[in-house]
């Protein structure tokens, strides 16, 4: 269980505020208002007891000492924006760069690094809200974002995102949880994965798209049938550039209703399965290629490949690619951004 950090404070001088949600089956999650962060996920097992399946730090304060975005809500725009620039209606916007010349996950002071207001809470749900001012990290317009976490009776954590703006702005919110379904601080590449996608997005060594969405046929990027993450690891030039998987997958179009799983993950010991349902057009698969040095829940530090992230979102750098076959990522003042993702856990 996560330890309270009694002597430390968040950067705003106030204590961290933690919330525990659960159901009658023993499924339980812990969340934090700093970064609207998912801290813990306890899954009940058939043999009895529970298993922690989410990577996390020993204390809330340790989340300030890591740059892996563990469990955080990221925005305004999750993933990368090339050159940290935007252009729209003849206007050019310079964003705050935090990965070389590019912007990653909303910038150095993105939504992961903010105090979210806890608006509502009961035994199974909590609602967080954030106000982002015009010019924040270089983005145009005032934005109000809501993230609601809900524990369901079928052992899922449902995440509902909502946002409004008063000027056109790209919006792409996601959760950056890392999963290890075997519950150990060890390599995740023996876990099996399935992603319902015919196409992935090639990227260069900085994670910036270098081609249009490409068929997974006859490549190591193909997860349409379940296989271990290790099976084709580093087989492709695309993977070699990123030291593993860190790629967007364009999901089958019919999955946007979130009624059928977009991805499945199985523990290596065969005792836990996770299903991912989402209304987002894409999933980013990241195999923790640069996790080394991150404070680990059990003590010590995580190693590379200690967790796998499946982030629901638009494809990276979508503001520069309106031609890609997905909905527009630019939100207008007359619209509302809405996205839902569910992570459901089954004991086998």
Binding residues for beta-D-galactose: 79-80, 176-178, 246
Active-site residue, 313 included: no
- The DSSP string of 25-89 is TS-EEEEETBTTEEEEEEEE-TTSSEEE-B---SSGGGGGG-SS-TT-EE-SB-SEEGGGEEEET
Binding site, annotated residues: 79-80, 176-178, 246
Q: In this structure, what token pair is assigned to residue 282?
A: 């894409």
d(CA 31, CA 41): 9
**CA triple 80-315-104, angle to 5 deg:** 15
Closest CA to 57 of 21, 113, 3: 3
- Find the catalytic residue in 112, 176, 180, 247: 176
For strands 143-151 and 156-165, give the pairing: antiparallel
- The DSSP string of 132-165 is E-TTGGG--S-EEEEEEEEE-TTSEEEEEEEEEE
- Find the catalytic residue in 52, 271, 275, 311: 311
d(CA 84, CA 170): 13
What does residue 237 show for φ and ψ, rounded to 5 degrees?
-55, -40
The residues facing 205 across adjacent strands are none
Q: Please, are residues 111 and 76 in contact by the beta-carbon 8 Å criterion?
A: yes
Task: Mention every residue, 6+ apart, whose C-beta is less than 8 A from residue 284.
Answer: 78, 79, 174, 246, 247, 248, 249, 309, 310, 311, 313, 316
Q: In this structure, what token pair is assigned to residue 227?
A: 């296989």
Active-site residue, 321 included: no
Which residues are marked as active site?
Answer: 176, 311
């Amino acid at each position: 269980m996560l330890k309270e950090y009694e002597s430390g404070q968040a950067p705003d001088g106030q204590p961290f505020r933690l919330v525990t949600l659960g159901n009658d089956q023993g499924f339980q999650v812990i969340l934090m208002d700093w970064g609207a962060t998912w801290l813990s996920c306890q899954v009940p097992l058939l043999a009895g007891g529970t298993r922690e399946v989410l990577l996390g730090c020993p204390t809330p304060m340790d989340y300030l000492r890591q740059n892996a975005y563990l469990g955080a809500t990221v925005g305004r725009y999750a993933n990368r924006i090339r050159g940290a620039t935007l252009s729209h209606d003849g206007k050019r916007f310079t964003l705050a760069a935090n990965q070389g010349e590019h912007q990653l996950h909303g910038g150095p002071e993105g939504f992961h690094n903010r105090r979210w207001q806890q608006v509502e809470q009961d035994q199974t749900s909590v609602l967080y809200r954030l106000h982002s001012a015009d010019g924040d990290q270089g983005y145009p317009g005032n934005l109000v974002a809501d993230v609601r976490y809900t524990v369901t009776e079928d052992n899922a954590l449902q995440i509902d995102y909502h946002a409004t703006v008063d000027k056109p702005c790209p919006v792409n919110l996601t959760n950056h949880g890392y999963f290890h379904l075997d519950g150990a601080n060890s390599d995740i590449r023996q876990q099996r994965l399935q992603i319902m996608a015919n196409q992935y997005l090639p990227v260069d060594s900085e994670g910036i798209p270098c081609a249009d969405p490409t068929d997974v046929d006859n490549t190591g990027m193909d997860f349409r049938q379940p296989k271990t993450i290790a099976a084709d690891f580093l087989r492709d030039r695309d993977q070699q550039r990123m030291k593993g998987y860190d790629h967007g997958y364009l999901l089958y179009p019919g999955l946007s209703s979130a009624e059928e799983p977009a991805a499945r993950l199985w523990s290596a010991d065969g005792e836990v399965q996770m299903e991912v349902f989402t209304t987002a057009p894409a999933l980013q698969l990241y195999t923790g290629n640069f996790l080394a040095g991150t404070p680990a829940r059990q003590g010590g530090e995580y190693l590379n490949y200690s967790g796998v992230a499946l982030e629901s979102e638009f494809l990276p750098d979508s503001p520069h690619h309106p031609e890609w076959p997905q909905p527009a990522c630019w939100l207008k003042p007359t619209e509302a951004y809405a996205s839902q993702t569910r992570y459901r856990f089954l004991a086998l």
